Structure 1
Amino acid sequence: MGKGRSVKLFLAEGSATGILTAEIINWTGHALAAPRTRLEAALKREELKRTGIYILYSDSFGADLPSVYVGEGDDFSVRLRIHSRDNEKDYWDRFIAVTSKDMNLTKAHVKYLEGRLISLLTDAKKCELQNKTEPTFDKLPEADISDMETFLEELQLVLPVIGVDFFRKPQIRPQPNFPPEEPQTKFYLRNSAKGIIATAVEADGEFVILAGATGSLNVAPSFNDRNRNQRDQALESGRAVKLDDKTFRLQQDIGFTSPSAAAVFLFGTSRNGRTDWLVDGQSITYGQWSDAKVQAAE
């Protein structure tokens, strides 16, 4: 496990659906998130008059991937006002503004961060990227690049906490302090009749099916809209591809909230992942393995 971190959230308007700010202790960054309906109130805040980056995005409730746009500016309150009147950018209903508490971010810094964030979105394939180009800015000194990469690492910790997960890919590599005597456990699932062959690991709080796994395209009535949307999004983004009329294959690792959610994704029907997944190299189910770990911790 990695080191614990504290994230400070502040409901600026006393409402969970209003303006929210997020900070990490010893991080110079400051993130402000809000719905578009609160843009007028947000524009009055001092943070939005600083140099920084901003993210416009849509909430995704259906099969479509969320639309996302990344921008930067010296006083990006001006840019946000322009975007709010731009009919070509009418897709967004939420935004995030990222600035520095010590106001040390320069135009060069935010141009670098903008390019890196767009690269992360392109790599993760969890959204419809609305930026026309992928800017690259490599004119920073080596020390500044190192500082911005550290800034970006902290930002990537904050974003999922405030509900933005489309920058993140599952991290299956052990942390640097991962105990060598506790190798990462792998799980497998096989069903030759349905063409399902998959391997998975637990990582970063998720149950991750590894790239190369195959699943069934058949669906049952128990395969609800949420499950269907998740699979449709994976196919639409290219994270999964159809092999034929009956099967699909994962092109990259995909994380799920539980072993059952992962099994449902592969089978297209209601499943119990605690019994479907087996521990690699052992004759026990995921449920038996998990129960043994809980019992050992008592």
Structure 2
Amino acid sequence: MTQGLSIRLFLVDGTPNGLLTAEIMNWTGHVLTGPRSKLSELVQRPECGRTGVYFLVGSDPEGGARPLLYVGESDDVGNRLKQHNRLEEKGGKDFWEKVCLVTSKDQNLTKAHVKYLESLLIKHSLESGRYKLVNGTAHDYVGLPESDKADMAFFLEQIRTVMPVLGLDFLRERSTSLRISSDEPDSPVVSTPRFVAEVPKVKAKAYGKEIDGEFYVLAGSFARGEWSGIDGGYKTLYMQLCEEGVLVGTNNGLKQFSTDYAFSSPSAASAIIVGRNSNGRIHWKVESSGHTYAAWQDQQVSAVTTHVEGSMQD
């Protein structure tokens, strides 16, 4: 069974939309995040005068489906954030709506440490592909002793743990092993089935799996060759996947998934397959039984309820 973990969150001004700090026990790192509207308060915090890495996050002004992300480092984060707050024509960045900075409580992070961390963070953000990175390519920074690299590897793992809790999942790994089994002996659900979705009219057929709360369409699956629905909805995502090479054209007029791709929901995945908005809870069916995703999910909930009730009676 996976070991639990406590993360301490503190609402600095007592409101959920203000400044927030996060810490993990036995980790020297300290996380501070807040909206851009609170920047004047944030830069007054002592953390902002320390050496650290920071993230600027915002929606794509051009309407892209993925948020934008900038990863930076500085030995005076507060001063760097003031620079980023300027108008773009004056050297600033306009897109960001939220900032998150990571420093060390014992102030042992050096300029060399954060430059190395920045290179790792950019690399992992690009590999995740969940956000569109404004930085571009990763910088290879190797100017650290072996022991310090090991320390920074641990530091990075803690950052990767905290960020999703704060609603920032740009470091969250996409599943590459497609784990479908639960090896926990007490789990009433022992496996995740493979789902199938078809568009008979155009002979498109796709396969999917639900893993770690996301719905993956598997590489080799086929989708409609062009968007046929109304503008808006998932059309932007469909076009984006085509531009990024996730969906590639085929000789039969369909689009094919070049890699496994994670969607936020079965309906998002179904819409891309069908080429228009679609109820994925009905369209995706368990390959072995033909049950809809909705029926399968209801069975899982019922199985858990029965398991819990049986344990209470014992």
TM normalised by structure 1 equals 0.85
C-alpha distance in 1 between matches for 2:32 and 2:14:
14
Partner of 1:209: 217
Partner of 2:199: 191
C-alpha distance in 2 between matches for 1:140 and 1:205:
37
C-alpha distance in 2 between matches for 1:84 and 1:210:
41
2:286 to 269, 279, 286: 279
Correspondence list, 1:12-161, <5 A: 12-60=12-60, 63-64=63-64, 65-85=66-86, 87=88, 88=91, 89-131=93-135, 133-161=137-165
C-alpha distance in 2 between matches for 1:74 and 1:132:
22
Q: Deviations over 1:134-190 (max 9, x none)?
A: 211123233332332222222122222222233334225377x94188454322223
Contact 1:274–1:286, Cα closer than 8 Å, also in 2: yes
* CA shift in 2, pair 1:197/1:104, >3 Å: farther
* CA shift in 2, pair 1:174/1:245, >3 Å: closer
Q: Does 1:218 align with 2:227?
A: yes
Q: Deviations over 1:180-224 (max 9, x none)?
A: 884543222233423422221111111222233221223334xx7
C-alpha distance in 2 between matches for 1:109 and 1:225:
43
Deviation at residue 121 of structure 1 after TM alignment: 2.3
2:267 to 260, 273, 295: 260
Aligned-partner residue type, residue 284 of structure 1: H
Aligned-partner residue type, residue 183 of structure 2: P
For residue 148 of structure 1, give the secondary structure of its aligned residue in structure 2: helix
* CA shift in 2, pair 1:49/1:69, >3 Å: same
Higher CA-based Rg:
2
Deviation at residue 72 of structure 1 after TM alignment: 0.8
Name the stretch that deviates more: 199-208 or 23-32. Answer: 23-32
Contact 1:99–1:105, Cα closer than 8 Å, also in 2: yes
Aligned-partner residue type, residue 27 of structure 2: W
- The 4+ residue runs of structure 1 with deviation greater than 6 A are none
Partner of 2:297: 290
* CA shift in 2, pair 1:214/1:292, >3 Å: same
Q: Deviations over 1:214-241 (max 9, x none)?
A: 21223334xx734223333333444334
When the two chains are superposed, the root-mean-square deviation of aligned CA atoms in Å is 2.9
Structure 1 residue runs without a partner (length 5+): none
Q: Which has the higher contact order (CA 8 A, sep 6+)?
A: 1
C-alpha distance in 2 between matches for 1:51 and 1:17:
25
Q: Does 1:162 align with 2:204?
A: no
C-alpha distance in 2 between matches for 1:58 and 1:3:
33
C-alpha distance in 1 between matches for 2:249 and 2:130:
18
C-alpha distance in 1 between matches for 2:252 and 2:97:
36
Structure 2 residue runs without a partner (length 5+): 307-314
C-alpha distance in 1 between matches for 2:85 and 2:68:
15
